[in-house]
Structure 1
Amino acid sequence: MIRRIFLATAIALAAVTASAQNATELVTLDSRQDSQGWEAVGRLNIDNSGFCTAALIRDRLLLTAAHCVYDSNNELISADKLVFQAGLRNGRAAATRNIIRIVAHPDYVPDGPTARVDGVRHDIAVLELSQPIRYSGIQPFPIAARPFAGDEVAIVSYGKNRAEAPSLQESCTILGRQSGALVMDCDVESGSSGSPVFRIQNGRAQIVSVVSAVAESSGNKISLGTSLQEPLQVLLAEFAARGPAKPGGEQRLIQIGERNDTGAKFISSN
């Protein structure tokens, strides 16, 4: 599942061309050794009719694109029709969980397969798992501050004709920003929606964006992602405001630049 945008104005062709020369090819992570460290990325199966990519940001919370959780009538899909398969590789998942709650960004407006570029900025959703994933080999990813033009990023995704194992593009580039969206030269296709975009710092992968759409700029294919910093905080606050999933609980909000297991903020829903 991926949406298409045709940009009326876009990043200069020279920037796109120069960046494309530096982007690496997709590499399939089809062995245990290759996929080590990326197991918290998984395939989000949608009502047995398609899939997106999602990633753990807490042991019970997933981050993906909001448009993945809406149907063709722009109605929110029932949570019980979604299944997350962490680290799915060649028919086997490191963990499989049902979804019990979906919260899309409150400012996201579903607009079908052909998106508006200004809608990308809010194209994120948080999904709650039926049970936490607490395995030493599956560690939730921290969230990093917004990247800048010229920054090198990586992407792990599932996609058309590569649905059974994740693929890694180890190096692609942030080309710039437009209407609140990050413009990248990362290689995405159907199924890549919701894929985490990473900045690697001190050997640690940190999520800086979520893939929303593919676009064309002067005939060149580019990808668009949500800039997470402010939209994610708004989304998590919305998630907390809807109340805890279990009696007496509180929702833990992830602060930008902090690890998911320490120093986070708690907001009471009562």
Structure 2
Amino acid sequence: MAALAKDMAAGKWRLARACAVLLVPLLAIAAPQVSQAQDSRLQRLETTEAGRDWQAVGRLDVNGEGFCTGALIAPDLVLTAAHCLFDRDSRTRIAPQTIEFLAGWRNGRASAYRSVRQAVIHPNYVFDGELSTDRVRNDIALLQLQRPIRNTTVTPFETSLRPQKGARIGVVSYAHDRSEAPSLQDVCAVMARQEGVLVMSCDVDYGSSGAPVFSFEGGRARIVSVVSAKAEVSGQQVALGSALAEELDLLRAQLGNGRSAGQMPPGVGRVRVGERARSGGAKFIKN
């Protein structure tokens, strides 16, 4: 625990990768205050009953070649991570029309299928191949669907302010080893919070990019952040979450102004997530 606090205070992070471990400089973060409550294990939402409350979380398939996680926050709006919309090799935006949102995807079926009409990312987000505090903080995107989802079993989630350090939170996500059904971790903790970046003890992996981070205050699940990356400090795995709050209002305004990824030049890149060594932003913790 002392080593963990020391490395966090020094801003020494390691980005968890499939083939290598990379030192990542982040801003100095104060030592975490770990709650006495234990983090819960992942619960697979494989049955209709288990997944009933989480139908608005879905898999984002990119041209059938890879995926991220996204969550419905309005009948026609999906919240996810900005890096899911970039090709790793070319570092260019991918065409939103190659993305499909599979609401409540479970065992080969979804509660609703929708293609994406347009997409916007945070104006300060830069996909430059390097993980940094600025990149994580601004790693959010909004996808506007071709048609709203009016299914009574798929209820959009409300959003709320970012939780404070020590708050208990939860995550619903897909991942490379659970791509056919989402998993819920309904108890994990905010270890630290600094300048829009949440450092969390939540269990995430490839495919979890863009997964909603929930607060359960008042017995109601509200989205308070989006999973951006997986990191390591002193051998402990942590998840990094992006800002939300006023940033989300900014993205809504961009959509209203028609500033979208739908108006892209020919030759725009596509994410190839199925190939781990070359995969783009759509695969978790590849940057």
Same fold, TM exceeding 0.5?
yes
- TM-aligned CA distance change 1:187 to 1:20, over 3 Å: farther
Structure 1 counterpart SS, 2:54: coil
Matched, 1:89 2:103: no
Q: Identity over the aligned pairs, expressed in percent?
A: 46
Which residue is equivalent to 1:99?
116
Structure 1 counterpart SS, 2:123: coil
Q: How does 1:4-43 map to 2 (within 5 A)?
A: 6-8=23-25, 11=29, 15=32, 18=34, 22-43=38-59
- In 1, Cα distance between the equivalents of 2:159 and 2:248? 9
Contact 2:158 2:222 in 1 (8 A): yes
Matched, 1:119 2:135: yes
Q: How does 1:201-220 map to 2 (within 5 A)?
A: 201-220=217-236
Structure 1 counterpart SS, 2:158: coil
- In 2, Cα distance between the equivalents of 1:20 and 1:45? 38
Runs of 4+ in 1 over 6 A off after TM superposition: none
Q: Which moved more, 1:172-181 or 1:68-77?
A: 172-181
1:55 alignment partner AA:
A
Q: TM-score, normalised by structure 2?
A: 0.78
- In 2, Cα distance between the equivalents of 1:12 and 1:230? 24
CA RMSD between the two structures: 2.1
1:183 alignment partner AA:
V
- TM-aligned CA distance change 1:49 to 1:243, over 3 Å: closer
| Bigger proportion of residues as strand | 1
- In 2, Cα distance between the equivalents of 1:75 and 1:242? 20
Aligned residue pair count: 240
Matched, 1:154 2:170: yes
- TM-aligned CA distance change 1:106 to 1:55, over 3 Å: same
Structure 2 counterpart SS, 1:138: coil
1:204 alignment partner AA:
R
Structure 2 counterpart SS, 1:163: coil
1:38 to partner: Cα distance: 0.3
Extract unaligned runs of 5+ from structure 1: 245-270
Structure 1 counterpart SS, 2:110: coil
142, 153, 156: which one aligns with 1:137: 153
Extract unaligned runs of 5+ from structure 2: 1-14, 261-287
Structure 1 counterpart SS, 2:64: coil
- TM-aligned CA distance change 1:3 to 1:55, over 3 Å: farther
- In 1, Cα distance between the equivalents of 2:192 and 2:102? 32
Contact 2:120 2:259 in 1 (8 A): no
240, 250, 261: which one aligns with 1:234: 250
151, 163, 182: which one aligns with 1:166: 182
